[in-house]
Amino acid sequence: MKVLVAVKRVLDYNIKVRVKSDGSGVDITNVKMSMNPFDEIACEEAVRLKEAGVASEVIAVSCGPAACQETLRTAMAIGADRAVLLETSEALEPLAVAKLMRHVAQKEGVTLAIFGKQAIDDDAGQTGQMFAALMGWPQATFASKVQAADGGLAVTREIDGGLETLQLALPAVVTADLRLNEPRFITLPSIMKAKKKPMEVVKADTLDIDIAPRLKTQKVTEPATRKAGVQVADVAELVKKLKEEAKVIA
């Protein structure tokens, strides 16, 4: 079973973005970029499936500028066997990414695709489900457990108020939630090994795929900031303030 793992290069999660003063977007020049944390979890899960003998090969795929090669190297250091970059300098919406991923999935004949549930830059949370729709495959989003079962997969999902388990026939799509696994620490030898793994770069505009944006960002602004309030001396003052000033408790 070949597994596709989608990885995205995003602003490191420790960095607070700044909105550009002209309102055209956020400033991400010269800041640290990393693999989207949920994609790291997706990658780890794919590699574990290979280590467990369920998957035969793990292919990491990214869409974006040449710098995404760095992110793909990280995926290979986690344990992906090879990588494909669909290179473009265009800003991509999730639908476009899903279409590019479909191209790779069909070409490679993968039977499982694992995505992060959400990228922490655009916070859209769409790509995995869109890819599943385009492929006509079943989906299990927000996965917290994936097991091979009955020739397919049993996937436990995080839902409001608890968990549910779906039995998926393959081929299928899984999107990774926080508790699916804890990604391994990347060692220096694995980084060295990743440098020798194959990376294929395909220019996205050589493929006949419509990746034009459907949404136009008119303006990006900073949200209204909350004013810091007051420090209270003790619990008694806190209770008094809540009752008499804020009037939020009786």
CA dihedral 125, 129, 130, 131 (to 10 degrees): 120
The residue (of 11 and 80) whose beta carbon lies closer to another protein is 11
Span 98-157, contacts to another protein by CB under 8 A: 98, 117-118, 120-134, 137-142, 144, 154
User: What minimum distance in Å lies between the beta carbon of 194 and another protein?
Assistant: 26
Give the binding-site size for another protein (rule: CB under 8 A): 79
The Cα 225–Cα 171 span in angstroms is: 46
- What letter would DSSP give residue 204? G
Site residues for another protein, 148-207, by CB under 8 A, read 154, 158-169, 172, 177-179
181 close to 48: Cβ distance less than 8 angstroms: yes
Least distance from another protein to the Cβ atom of residue 216, Å: 5
**79 versus 171: smaller Cβ distance to another protein:** 171
**In the complex with another protein, which residue's Cβ is closer, 47 or 173?**
173
**Is 7 within 8 Å of 36 (Cβ atoms)?**
yes
The binder of another protein chosen from 151, 196, 208, 228 (CB under 8 A): 228
How far is the C-alpha of 141 from the C-alpha of 177, rounded, in Å?
8
Q: Which is nearer to another protein, 20 or 107 (CB)?
A: 20
Structure-token pair, residue 48? 């574990």
Tokens of 203: 């220019």
Residues 43-82 that bind another protein (CB under 8 A): none
